[in-house]
């Protein structure tokens, strides 16, 4: 029984629990006593200071005034404490518990001696007058830097001692209950833990005697020691090998799991042995479903299968770049044989270069578009300059006409550069928005009024048609006005004389939809999806001039506000450009 593992665990645990609970009870008793005393001292000193403020004027005028004793009695009733007023020579001139005639000189009291030195003092001692332990708090009353009296308050310690005794009883009962519950739980948990160890020990012992060499037993007789003897023989070698295998496996798993490139390992028969999460995402297949399936089923592109075959036959790395037409992906694949470690196996690495290819296309289109936009004004400027050099300077009217044309071309170049810079600042986030709650009617009316003259000059009717009032929106009024004027300007540009342009606004859910509708030439269906691309112009638009950047700037500004912008149109019937703003 004494060798039982159950009692070897429970005995020190229960002893430790009892000692801990006993020490905790002792500590809590002392801590609470000190805490109660500190709070009582602080309270008495605060009340003594308050009473000193009231008595100081009487003591300074006549320390023997009977009103002092009367005030002492009233204060004691209010504060529920004993109050004593003592002069600097020890004479008591105010006492709440006994008549003044019965009070002896208090000059030798410790708290009085401390207060005579100008310091606040507290003291605990037995009171002969009340025959009980009291806590005294004394504060000096000074006049011209000299102590003339002491205000002393006293409170019995009976209630503190009673509170501590009650708390000690509660702590003791709670500790006893906790000890019993903990001991019971320890017994139950220990028994349930040790029960399966016997069967496990027998099984491991049988295994060790059949395969592993015999080992010496330890001098201990408990169950865990016998289990340790059974495990010791096989644990060293198994532990070393398992550690090495686990470490290598973890390294491989970490590399494959965190690689952004897709990895597929294929054996000599074309069966997929392993792939990483990136490959699963690229080929849209679950990782656990891939092993055991053919490479053709996984990649679904015969060019990749041919790449694997070439790598296996030539036993050298092979590469291939392929654009997957249906999915609009551009993938570069590299197949490498794994050598003697995995004879006949091939590792295939797939890199998704779609984003790089799209960026390259965007850069190429940008260079092409900007070159096209610059070529026309530069060619015009060169032709005008050559004409002036050829003799047009001698003809003042012609020279002035050519100079005006040169100014027009230079203005177009300046507008192109400014809009490019504005678009770059908006796209990079360097154009901060001053978003706040505004009334949409304000910028709707202002934009319409500013474009009214230009519309009338073109022979068009520009009107604002929206209900009042409109709900407030959160927007940068300057930027939204820029968007609105851009849309109105385009409508004026592509609407024949006699046409109508209508600006409308209406709430829809948590958004405000603002539209600019014209009766112009319209936009062809093949051009409509691309009109918000920078530099894009439909065939009809090219006749109207412009840089092709206005709608792109408008799209970026609206999206920066958290809104959407779109267009609907029918040829020769007009177009409607709409965008949304979030309601406040």
Angstrom distance (rounded) from CA 295 to CA 274: 11
The whole-model pTM stands at 0.40
Residue-level pLDDT at 506: 92
More confident residue, 428 or 54: 54
Same domain, 58 and 75: yes
Structure token digits, residue 287: 């990782």
Q: Is 145 exposed, middle or buried (0-12, 13-18, 19+ CB in 10 A)?
A: exposed
What are residue 134's DSSP bridge partners?
125, 156
Question: In the 8-state DSSP scheme, what is residue 96?
Answer: S
* Residue 203 domain flag: no
Same domain, 373 and 452: no
Same domain, 545 and 513: yes
CATH of the domain at 367: 1.10.287.130
Q: How far apart are the first and last CA of the chain?
A: 79
The tally of domains found in the chain comes to 5
φ/ψ (deg, to 5) at 215:
-125, 155
More confident residue, 432 or 542: 432
Mean pLDDT, to the nearest integer, of 484-490?
A: 87
Angstrom distance (rounded) from CA 270 to CA 295: 6
CATH of the domain at 43: 3.30.450.20
**Alpha carbon distances (Å) from 258 to 69, 254, 263, 545:** 87, 6, 11, 51
Pairing relation of β-strands 436-438 and 346-352? Answer: unpaired
Element (H, E) at 155: strand 146-156
3-state SS class at 424: helix
**Alpha carbon distances (Å) from 485 to 420, 444, 516:** 18, 9, 10
Q: Which of residues 310, 326, 353 is at a domain's end? A: 353
Choose the weakest-confidence range: 148-157, 163-172, 488-497, 575-584: 163-172
Same domain, 448 and 502: yes
Q: What is the CA radius of gyration of the chain?
A: 48
Mean pLDDT, to the nearest integer, of 554-561?
A: 84
Same domain, 569 and 469: yes
For residue 408, what are the domain limits? 357-426
- Per-residue confidence at 105, pLDDT binned at 50, 70, 90? confident
* Residue 149 domain flag: yes
Residue-level pLDDT at 541: 41
Same domain, 486 and 442: yes
Angstrom distance (rounded) from CA 182 to CA 176: 10
What are residue 337's DSSP bridge partners?
346
Residue-level pLDDT at 581: 92
Residue listed under structure tokens 């230009």: 454
Angstrom distance (rounded) from CA 517 to CA 502: 5
Those residues whose C-beta lies under 8 Å from the C-beta of residue 191, and which sit 6 or more positions away, are: 6
Angstrom distance (rounded) from CA 524 to CA 501: 19
Same domain, 403 and 450: no
Question: In the 8-state DSSP scheme, what is residue 378?
Answer: H
What are residue 83's DSSP bridge partners?
153
Same domain, 247 and 278: no
Cis peptide before 469 (omega within 30 of 0): yes
pLDDT digits (tens, 9 = 90+) for 507-555: 998 999 999 999 988 888 887 877 877 666 654 443 445 556 778 778 8
**Alpha carbon distances (Å) from 428 to 114, 341, 424, 431:** 75, 50, 6, 8
Check: CB of residue 71 under 8 Å from CB of residue 83: no
Q: ∠ CA 451-455-457 to the nearest 5 degrees?
A: 120
Q: Which of residues 353, 382, 401 is at a domain's end? A: 353
Same domain, 249 and 261: no
Same domain, 363 and 448: no
* Residue 235 domain flag: yes
Structure token digits, residue 326: 């249906």
CATH of the domain at 468: 3.30.565.10
Choose the weakest-confidence range: 108-117, 398-407, 511-520: 398-407
Angstrom distance (rounded) from CA 210 to CA 194: 25
Pairing relation of β-strands 500-508 and 461-465? Answer: parallel
3-state SS class at 272: strand
Same domain, 296 and 330: yes
Mean pLDDT, to the nearest integer, of 404-421?
A: 68
Residue-level pLDDT at 575: 92
pLDDT digits (tens, 9 = 90+) for 472-482: 999 888 888 88
Structure token digits, residue 23: 């020490």
* Residue 202 domain flag: no
* Residue 231 domain flag: yes
Same domain, 384 and 324: no
* Residue 169 domain flag: no
Q: Which of 13-17, 183-187, 488-492 has the highest mean pLDDT?
A: 488-492
* Residue 175 domain flag: no
pLDDT digits (tens, 9 = 90+) for 271-307: 888 888 888 888 788 877 788 888 888 888 888 888 8
- pLDDT of residue 500 exceeding 90, the answer is yes
Number of H helices and number of E strands within the chain? 14, 17
Mean pLDDT, to the nearest integer, of 215-230?
A: 55
Angstrom distance (rounded) from CA 543 to CA 520: 14
Structure token digits, residue 472: 């407030």
**Alpha carbon distances (Å) from 22 to 29, 169, 175, 419, 430:** 11, 12, 8, 82, 68
Angstrom distance (rounded) from CA 536 to CA 343: 56
Q: Which of residues 161, 190, 223 is at a domain's end? A: 161
Q: The dihedral of CA 314, 317, 322, 328: what is its sign?
A: positive
Residue listed under structure tokens 């006492």: 95
Angstrom distance (rounded) from CA 377 to CA 383: 10
Cis peptide before 300 (omega within 30 of 0): no
Residue listed under structure tokens 């005995």: 11
* Residue 22 domain flag: yes
């Amino acid at each position: 029984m004494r060798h039982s593992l159950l009692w070897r665990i429970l005995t020190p645990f229960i002893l430790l629990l009892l000692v801990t609970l006993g020490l905790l009870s002792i500590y809590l008793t002392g801590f609470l006593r000190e805490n109660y005393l500190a709070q009582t001292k602080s309270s008495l000193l605060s009340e003594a200071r308050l009473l000193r403020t009231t008595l100081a004027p009487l003591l300074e005028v006549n320390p023997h005034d009977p009103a002092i004793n009367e005030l002492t009695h009233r204060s004691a009733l209010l504060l529920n404490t004993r109050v004593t007023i003592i002069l600097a020579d020890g004479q008591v001139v105010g006492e709440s518990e006994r008549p003044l005639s019965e009070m002896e000189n208090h000059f030798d009291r410790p708290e009085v001696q401390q207060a005579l030195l100008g310091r606040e003092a507290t003291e605990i001692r037995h009171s002969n007058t009340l025959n009980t332990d009291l806590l005294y708090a004394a504060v000096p009353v000074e006049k011209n830097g000299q102590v003339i009296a002491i205000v002393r308050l006293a409170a019995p310690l009976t209630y503190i001692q009673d509170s501590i005794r009650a708390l000690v009883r509660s702590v003791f009962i709670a500790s006893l209950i906790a000890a019993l519950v903990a001991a019971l739980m320890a017994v139950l948990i220990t028994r349930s833990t040790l029960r399966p160890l016997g069967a496990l020990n027998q099984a491991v012992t049988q295994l060790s005697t059949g395969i592993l060499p015999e080992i010496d037993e330890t001098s201990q007789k408990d169950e865990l020691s016998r289990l340790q003897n059974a495990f010791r023989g096989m644990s060293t070698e198994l532990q070393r090998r398992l550690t090495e295998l686990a470490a290598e496996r973890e390294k491989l798993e970490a590399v494959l799991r965190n690689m952004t490139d897709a990895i597929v390992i294929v054996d000599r028969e074309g069966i997929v042995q392993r792939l990483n999460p990136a490959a699963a995402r690229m080929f849209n297949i679950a990782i656990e479903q891939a092993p055991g399936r053919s490479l053709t089923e996984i990649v679904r592109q015969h060019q990749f299968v041919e790449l694997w075959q070439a790598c296996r036959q030539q036993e050298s790395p092979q590469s291939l770049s392929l654009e997957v037409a249906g999915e609009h992906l551009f993938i570069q694949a590299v197949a490498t044989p794994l050598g003697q470690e995995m004879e006949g196996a091939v590792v295939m690495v797939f890199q998704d270069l779609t984003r790089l290819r799209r960026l390259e296309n965007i850069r190429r289109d940008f260079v092409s578009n900007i070159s096209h936009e610059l070529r026309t004004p530069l060619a015009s400027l060169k032709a005008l300059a050559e004409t002036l050099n050829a003799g047009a300077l001698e003809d003042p009217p012609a020279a002035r006409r050519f100079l005006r044309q040169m100014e027009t071309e230079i203005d177009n170049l300046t507008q192109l550069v400014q809009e490019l810079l504005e678009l770059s600042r908006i796209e990079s986030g360097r154009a901060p928005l001053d978003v706040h709650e505004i009334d949409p009617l304000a910028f709707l009316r202002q934009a319409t009024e500013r474009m009214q003259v230009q519309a009338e000059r073109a022979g068009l009717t520009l009107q604002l048609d929206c209900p009042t009032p409109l709900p407030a929106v959160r927007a940068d009024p300057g930027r939204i006005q820029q968007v609105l004027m851009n849309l109105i300007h385009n409508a004026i540009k592509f609407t024949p004389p006699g046409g109508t342009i209508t600006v409308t606004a209406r709430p829809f859910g948590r958004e405000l939809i603002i539209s600019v509708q014209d009766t112009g030439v319209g936009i062809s269906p093949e051009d409509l999806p691309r009109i918000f691309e920078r530099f894009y112009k439909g065939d009809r638009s090219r006749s109207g001039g412009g840089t092709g950047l206005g709608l792109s700037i408008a799209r970026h500004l609206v999206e920066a506000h958290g809104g959407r912008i779109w267009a609907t149109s029918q040829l020769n019937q007009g177009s409607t450009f709409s965008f949304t703003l979030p309601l406040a």
